[in-house]
Amino acid sequence: MTALTLSTAAAAGLRADAIVVGVAKGAQGPVVAPGAEAVDQAYDGRLAATLQTLGASGAEGEVTKLPAPSGFKAPVVVAVGLGAEPEKDQAFTAESLRRAAGCAARALTGSKKAVFALPVTGAADVGAIGEGALLGAYTFDAFKDNGKTAKNAKSPLAEVAVLGGKPRDKAYKAAVERAVTVAEELNRARDLINTPPNHLTPMAFAAIAQAAGKEHGLKVQVLDTKALEKGGYGGILGVGAGSASPACLVKLSYTHARAGKHLAFVGKGITYDSGGISLKPAGHNETMKCDMSGAAAVFAAVVAAARLGLEVDLTGWLALAENMPSGSATRPGDVLHMYSGKTVEVLNTDAEGRLVLADALWAASQENPDAIVDVATLTGAMMLALGNRIFGIMANDDAFRTAVHEAAGEAGEDAWPMPLPEHLRKGMDSPTADIANMGERMGGGLVAGLFLKEFVGEGIPWAHLDIAGPAFNEQAPFGYTPKGGTGSAVRTLVRLAELSASGDLG
């Protein structure tokens, strides 16, 4: 993991491979951002003009490298675009700093140390820069060259030193600690998402959760096949019935002596989704190792909260199964008896995520938490609606949906509130069971949300995050987001836990 430190030294005197500065997109061309004054002065005040000559504009994500000025111990200056120049008396947003730092960290792969001289107005900015750099420096090479970096590959940036902070100030120290913790746990989620499905079965995931629980003081309970059968968890068992790898339900509990609230997070954990008997066509199953991204997010968020010592009680539920076709697999037309006591007619075995979540949501409801939030790569329909970088938020309470949306924004994650139209519920009526797992095709993401709503305990605020779009990036890296697993929703969940701990969660 990349190291993160604060420094008060002058940029010119620091030994590093590069100095990172920010540049904004101004009305007349690139503008050197605050934090880089000393660097600009060393260029005789012509850094912006030099960058413009090199074709730089200050646009978000733009990276330009140039030789460092005479007298600098670092040989290279890396100018990273921050996007549009803020209005007068306005500062750069935390997310613009986070993305710029991530771009720079990616551009400096193979370097040992980089000094970040980006705009800093307070501890929050230091946290954003640190978080972005640590996330941008992420790589996954566990299955290359027997776990060692290949000869022609470059290691990630090893150390990030952020200028403009106050190393001895409590607020700055806390910002660094939070950035490191959140980034490490989010990168742990990315590792899980990127792990091949033959190496991450449901029980293998459960073992990882148990090890983390032991390390960070979490109580971990694993309900294996026998316990699920005894408890009547027909949804989880039904989805896992076709696989040689048994399903399980993992419960992670974090408690704090001064906690005033209890949140429950529920994650969909399909470690591989073939579609089951309703088999996915070629071209739609190659990345289905990522169908456990929701469970990875919940796991990472609970561990992060424990490491940060947040004054809130958290319970994480990981509904883990592998959806495979076989002679023992659930068939279209089968009826499952769910943990809640309801029956579900399975019309499509590729609509399996809602089945495992239904059991986990009802299990979470039995503890009567103050709120429940589930996270899932649930529907292609949500991707059609919102694209590949935005997740949808549905809820049984408009105020709570707004609170979750605001928390996502504060965390730097793009999300959008979605409705749960009651008229779509009728489409899931079944002549055989209490409800079917499919309804109208149009508005499929909303239909899935309505299905889940049926399994939330009465009176409990609940939100559903459909992260199908942003959970796995199949395109080129951008900002601090790598190709592959992204760790979507981890930061939103951590922010919700923080708001609950401070009593500010609406």
Q: Which residues are the active-site residues?
A: 280, 354
Question: Residue 142 gets which letter from DSSP?
Answer: T
Contact between 450 and 428 (Cβ < 8 Å): yes
294 CB-side CA count, 13 A: 33
Rounded Cα gap, residues 328 and 338, in angstroms: 18
322, 231 Cβ separation under 8 angstroms: no
CA 493 to chain centroid: 9
The tokens describing 265, both together, are 């997070």
Query: How far apart, in Å, are the Cα atoms of 269 and each of 42, 173, 190, 384, 411?
Result: 53, 35, 14, 22, 23
CB 117 within 8 A of CB 36: yes
Give the position of tokens 């503008």.
31
Q: How far apart are CA 35 and CA 134, in angstroms?
A: 20
Q: Let me know if 367 is exposed, middle or buried by CB neighbors in 10 A (0-12, 13-18, 19+).
A: middle
Tally Cβ neighbours within 10 Å of residue 169: 13
